[in-house]
């Protein structure tokens, strides 16, 4: 696979647009998945993915084959995500304490109430599951967050994770261990998906959000209605039930959908690369 990608790199440098498309298709889904989990909102992730892929394309001449093309590309992606400050105001990193306060406030709103269900309740609950656990990721600092996303969600090896982050395998394992400890400790104390003894349920949080106007029937749901690739993991609830004896926390985050990257980027990239105003591309002979 990597040998063929290296051939595609050489062809893309020589101006082969099909080879360039192959390279982009190879890495864009994983890059989008990392960006979405790092930034917390699909639009932010789409913007970041486009910026990252443009960096990859315009820096093909610097690829020396010292690592796999995918590793090299993900390193560019991670470096961008660790330094970017473009993030909508509502999704900035927060602390576990702040998130716990929001959860407690939702439980207080619904204390002692009998909740009615609606036709779109399952979809709203799914959205709450995904938004809340995504919010937990944002409680980690960026270095721990990206280590957790790579090592726990996408299950890369410590060697590959280290190569992507340009650190030692031992340092990668330490970052991953700290992230795991933080998430497990928090979710064991707060989350009903991980510990059924906890009072928090996603359905209760949905009811609270609807009472204060943060959720409304029929509203767009950025996670639950996000386009996905054909194979989508099971829901966080099912994952926590089926893996009761194993690590429920890891299972919950791996159960997030395989979010599909926007499909219009290739067309936009072609237009950009062939426009007269774009003179920074380092391909040798222009694009065919």
CATH code where residue 22 lies: 1.10.1740.10
- How high is the pLDDT of residue 145? 97
Residues 168 and 55 in one domain: no
Number of domains the chain contains: 2
- How high is the pLDDT of residue 264? 73
Residues 184 and 150 in one domain: yes
Domain assignment of residue 264, given as a range: 1-92+259-288
Residues 106 and 235 in one domain: yes
| Higher local confidence (pLDDT), 123 or 87 | 123
The pLDDT of 89-111, averaged and rounded, is: 85
Residues 136 and 265 in one domain: no
Angle at 43 between CA 260 and CA 224, to 5 degrees: 55
The pLDDT of 158-183, averaged and rounded, is: 97
The answer to whether residue 208 scores a pLDDT higher than 50 is yes
Give, in order, the Cα–Cα distances in Å from 206 to each of 22, 158, 231, 279. 42, 38, 27, 50
- How high is the pLDDT of residue 52? 96
The pLDDT of 246-254, averaged and rounded, is: 83
Residues 6+ apart with CB under 8 A from 75: 67, 163, 164, 165, 166
The answer to whether residue 288 scores a pLDDT higher than 60 is no
The answer to whether residue 234 scores a pLDDT higher than 60 is no
- How high is the pLDDT of residue 277? 46
Residues 129 and 251 in one domain: yes
- How high is the pLDDT of residue 262? 87
The answer to whether residue 107 scores a pLDDT higher than 60 is yes
Residues 80 and 222 in one domain: no
Residues 9 and 25 in one domain: yes
Name the residue among 51, 53, 60, 59 with its Cα closest to residue 84: 51
Residues 110 and 240 in one domain: yes
Please state which of the ranges 2-16, 166-180, 212-226 shows the lowest mean pLDDT.
2-16
The pLDDT of 25-33, averaged and rounded, is: 96
Residues 76 and 11 in one domain: yes
Q: Whole-prediction pTM value?
A: 0.87
Predicted confidence band of residue 118 (pLDDT cuts 50, 70, 90) = low
């Amino acid at each position: 696979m990597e040998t063929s990608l290296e051939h595609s790199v050489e062809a893309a440098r020589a101006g082969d647009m099909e080879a360039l498309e192959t390279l982009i298709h190879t890495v864009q889904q994983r890059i989008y998945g990392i960006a979405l989990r790092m930034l917390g909102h699909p639009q932010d992730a789409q913007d970041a993915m486009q910026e990252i892929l443009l960096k990859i394309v315009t820096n093909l001449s610097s690829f020396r084959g010292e690592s796999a093309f995918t590793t090299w590309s993900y390193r560019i992606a991670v470096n961008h995500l660790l330094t970017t400050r473009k993030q909508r105001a509502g999704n900035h990193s927060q602390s576990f304490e702040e998130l716990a306060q929001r959860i407690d406030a939702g439980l207080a709103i619904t204390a002692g109430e009998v909740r009615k269900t609606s036709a779109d309740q399952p979809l709203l609950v799914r959205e709450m599951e995904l938004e809340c656990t995504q919010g937990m990721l944002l409680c980690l600092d960026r270095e721990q967050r990206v280590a957790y996303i790579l090592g726990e969600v996408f299950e890369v090896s410590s060697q590959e994770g280290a190569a992507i982050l340009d650190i030692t395998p031992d340092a990668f394992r330490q970052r991953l261990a700290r992230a795991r400890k933080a998430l497990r400790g928090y979710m064991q104390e707060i989350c009903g998906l991980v510990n059924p003894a906890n009072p928090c349920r996603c359905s209760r949080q949905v009811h609270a959000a609807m009472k204060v106007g943060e959720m409304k029937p029929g509203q767009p749901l950025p996670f639950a209605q996000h386009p996905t690739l054909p194979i989508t993991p099971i829901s966080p609830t099912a994952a926590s039930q089926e893996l009761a004896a194993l690590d429920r926390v890891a299972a919950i985050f791996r159960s997030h959908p395989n979010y599909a990257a926007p499909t219009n980027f290739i067309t936009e990239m072609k237009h950009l690369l062939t426009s007269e105003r774009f003179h920074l591309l380092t391909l040798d002979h222009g694009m065919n």
